């Protein structure tokens, strides 16, 4: 397998001011894989319960996502229910039911060893470490985490971060990891913990990325008709890692291309509920979106100010 | 006068977790003029009290700011005292004493009529309208306002906005003006109220600007050593309007250059207390900062994704 993602496959119920959509295909691994598979074969390591619909499996398979690592177990699928306000940046979790995800123990199929890229989505860092131990030689390991794990398993989180090439954090996570409030100041310290590249994601404000070449700044693409922001971060990671897998990602210009792809994918995802927008997405639209982003950020520096 | 700014000249007291600086030269007109004067002559219309230090006046004059429109009146200068948290985006106002600013009535000196550019900083919109009535034919009128005026004088605010070429708002102000939560959706509606260009400022996240040519997205330049964020917005406006005064600002590439200059100036300002950073600023540093911003935002779109 070229790309492997370890994370959640879930059933989401999403409330917005006008609508409610229930039992949507959700979870980090779903969003990541559907975004990344546009660039290279992707395999999912996750677990679903006996209530998981065959329709969702067909959707993933139909798009070319490999499900050899998707365990199906007696019990309930991980469910998340949340509500977005009129301002879609305001999110409230109504309910989280872990179901079979509570005892999830990722098992990598043999064909997933020595992949080109591995994305460890936001799961227990102890499990992330187990995956790293079994994953073989992987030239690009990207990791996501969250405040809950940094607080609860700080040592395991640090060990994972040490072994990551690329770490994705938000402002709060960067603060928890370093004790520094300004993420711009925290990022160099996080790089010293291991990752060559630190991405500070800022939701509707884009992302600031620090690598050996300095900062790469990407605003989010402006979306007027945000329907469902769920999965934007995992889709961003999917576009980024999907594009960079097998490439010389240490190159500044390559990584910038990856960030552009990630930004473009995530801006498309939020324009429909669940994974609908990526599912129907055509590569031509992605390229167009990327070029629109480029046009919106293009400027020259005045000479001889 | 090439550029005129109507706003406040104030004495600021700024607390940060480690330090306190009192009686700093502050106010929108100070930050704006010191930023804009690097590009063209600027005149201030504002008022100070009898307690205002000659040192501050000398600083402004020494940098070439024209003070013919700066009224000196018996009474106290406008004072603002505020505190920034460890996260410099967290600001708390401790005290605001309007002093002579409370009865401020802007009078434009004769030489300020028919200027190349006019910046109406955040003051009572009724006064902004008076200035507009007296300012003559000004090819570039840029306006700032705030929630307080939009709530308190909605009709006057709308009249000012109608006559502005460029309007600067934040998320909350765009919501108050349109009733729309997503500023990306609100911006086109604000343009229909009059301004050709709407700038949505997002503090440490940069600015998104909508004009006839579409969106221009500028992230903030990453600053690790933020000392004092006061005046960042007015310095941004100073760099923007200063650079564009007398130029074809309707041109997309020109306006993008202006936004780059504004972004560069505001990123320099926050690196020292009060106006210290602009005061000692050399144009070479501004150009370097602009180029660093350009390098951090440069990317290509992958071909044939």
What is the tens place of the pLDDT at every residue in B4-34? 999 999 999 999 988 999 999 999 999 999 9
Query: How close does chain A come to B181, measured CA to CA in Å?
Result: 5
pLDDT at B86: 83
Query: How close does chain A come to B4, measured CA to CA in Å?
Result: 20
Cβ B233 vs Cβ B168: under 8 Å:
yes
Neighbours of B71 (CB within 10 A): 16
Say whether B218 and A223 touch across the interface (CB within 8 A): no
Widest distance between CA atoms in chain B? 69
The model's confidence at residue B258, banded by pLDDT at 50, 70 and 90, is very high
Q: Closest Cα partner for A292 from B183, B214, B305?
A: B214
Residue ranges of B 158-197 with Cβ closer than 8 A to chain A: 181-182, 184-185, 188
| Dihedral, CA of residue B14, residue B16, residue B20 and residue B21, to nearest 10 | -40
Q: For residue range A57-72, what is the model confidence (pLDDT) as tens digits?
A: 999 999 999 999 999 9
Closest B-chain CA to A296: B216
pLDDT at B301: 94
Instruction: List chain A residues with CB under 8 Å of B217.
Output: 206, 219, 221-222, 293, 296-297
Task: Compute the 3-state secondary structure of chain B and give helix, strand, coil in percent, each to the nearest 5.
Answer: 40, 25, 35
Cβ B97 vs Cβ B30: under 8 Å:
no
Instruction: Supply the mean pLDDT for chain A.
Output: 95
Question: Which stretches within chain A are classed as H helix?
Answer: 28-36, 54-62, 125-134, 147-152, 154-162, 171-178, 183-192, 232-244, 252-269, 276-279, 283-297
Query: How close does chain B come to A51, measured CA to CA in Å?
Result: 36
The answer for residues whose C-beta is within 8 angstroms of residue B167's C-beta and 6 or more apart is: B142, B143, B145, B161, B190, B194, B195, B197, B198, B199
Cβ A193 vs Cβ A177: under 8 Å:
yes
Say whether A217 and B296 touch across the interface (CB within 8 A): yes
Cβ B51 vs Cβ B76: under 8 Å:
yes
Cα gap A245→B280, rounded to integer Å = 47
Report DSSP letters for A202-235, one per residue.
-GGG-EEEEETTEEEEEPPPP-SS----TTHHHH
Q: Closest Cα partner for B262 from B227, B230, B286, B229?
A: B286
pLDDT at A112: 98
The model's confidence at residue A305, banded by pLDDT at 50, 70 and 90, is confident
Q: For residue range A187-246, what is the model confidence (pLDDT) as tens digits?
A: 999 999 999 999 999 988 999 999 999 999 999 999 999 999 999 999 999 999 999 999
Among partner residues B215, B219, B260, which is closest to A222 by beta-carbon distance? B215
Higher pLDDT, A89 or B281: A89
Output phi, psi for A30, to 5 deg. -65, -50
The answer for residues whose C-beta is within 8 angstroms of residue B202's C-beta and 6 or more apart is: A205, B170, B171, B208, B220
Instruction: List chain A residues with CB under 8 Å of B219.
Output: 205-206, 208, 217-219
**CA angle (A232, A233, A234) in 5-degree steps:** 95
User: Taking residues A23-28, what's their average pLDDT?
Assistant: 97
Instruction: List chain B residues with CB under 8 Å of A226.
Output: 182
Residue ranges of A 192-251 with Cβ closer than 8 A to chain B: 202, 205-206, 208, 214-219, 221-226, 243
B203 DSSP 8-state letter: G
Among partner residues B224, B300, B304, which is closest to A253 by beta-carbon distance? B300
Say whether B208 and A219 touch across the interface (CB within 8 A): yes
User: Taking residues A75-87, what's their average pLDDT?
Assistant: 94
pLDDT higher than threshold 70 for residue B293: yes
pLDDT at B88: 80
3-state secondary structure of A110: helix
User: Taking residues B130-150, what's their average pLDDT?
Assistant: 96
User: Taking residues B127-153, what's their average pLDDT?
Assistant: 95
pLDDT higher than threshold 70 for residue B280: no
Residue ranges of A 29-48 with Cβ closer than 8 A to chain B: 38-39
Say whether A301 and B290 touch across the interface (CB within 8 A): yes
Say whether B184 and A208 touch across the interface (CB within 8 A): no
CA-only gyration radius of chain A, Å: 18
Instruction: List chain A residues with CB under 8 Å of B297.
Output: 216-218, 297, 299
Residue ranges of B 98-117 with Cβ closer than 8 A to chain A: none
pLDDT at A280: 63
Cα gap B228→A259, rounded to integer Å = 31
Closest A-chain CA to B221: A217
pLDDT at A283: 67
E-only strand ranges, chain B: 3-6, 10-15, 20-26, 42-48, 66-72, 79-84, 91-97, 117-120, 141-144, 166-169, 197-201, 207-211, 214-218
Among partner residues B86, B259, B305, which is closest to A299 by beta-carbon distance? B259
pLDDT higher than threshold 90 for residue A89: no
Closest A-chain CA to B284: A305
Can you give the pTM of this predicted structure? 0.95
Domains in chain B: ranges and CATH: 3-295 (3.40.1190.20)
- Residue A93 bridge partners (DSSP): A82
The model's confidence at residue B281, banded by pLDDT at 50, 70 and 90, is low
Say whether B257 and A300 touch across the interface (CB within 8 A): yes
Say whether B300 and A208 touch across the interface (CB within 8 A): no
pLDDT higher than threshold 70 for residue A286: yes
Interface size A-B, in CB pairs within 8 Å, comes to 147
Among partner residues A88, A182, A299, which is closest to B256 by beta-carbon distance? A299
């Amino acid at each position: 397998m070229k790309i492997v993602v370890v994370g959640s496959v879930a059933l989401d119920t999403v409330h917005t001011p006008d609508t409610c959509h229930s039992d949507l295909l959700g979870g980090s691994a779903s969003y990541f894989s559907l975004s990344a598979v546009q660039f290279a074969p992707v395999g999912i390591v996750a677990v679903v319960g006996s209530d998981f619909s065959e329709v969702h499996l067909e959707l993933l398979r139909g798009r070319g996502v490999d499900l050899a690592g998707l365990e199906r177990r007696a019990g309930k699928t991980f469910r998340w229910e949340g509500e977005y306000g009129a301002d879609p940046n305001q999110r409230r979790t109504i309910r989280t039911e872990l179901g079979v995800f509570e005892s999830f123990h990722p098992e990598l199929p043999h064909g997933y060893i020595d992949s080109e890229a591995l994305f460890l989505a936001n799961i227990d860092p102890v499990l992330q470490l187990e995956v790293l131990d079994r994953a073989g030689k992987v030239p690009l390991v990207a990791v996501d985490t969250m405040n809950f794990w940094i607080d609860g398993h700080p040592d395991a989180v640090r060990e994972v971060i040490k072994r990551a090439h690329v770490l994705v954090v938000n402002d709060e996570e960067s603060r928890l990891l370093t004790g520094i409030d300004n993420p711009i100041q925290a990022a160099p310290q996080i790089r010293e913990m291991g990752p060559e590249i630190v991405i500070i994601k800022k939701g509707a404000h884009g992302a600031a990325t620090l690598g050996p070449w300095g900062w790469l700044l990407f605003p989010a693409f402006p979306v007027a008709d945000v329907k469902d922001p769920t999965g934007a971060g995992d889709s961003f990671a999917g576009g980024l890692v999907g594009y960079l897998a097998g490439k010389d990602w240490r190159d500044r210009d390559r990584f910038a291309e990856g960030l552009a792809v990630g930004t473009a994918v995530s801006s498309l995802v939020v324009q429909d509920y669940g994974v609908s927008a990526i599912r129907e997405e055509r590569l031509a639209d992605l390229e167009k979106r990327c070029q629109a982003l480029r046009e919106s950020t293009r400027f020259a520096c005045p000479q001889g100010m």
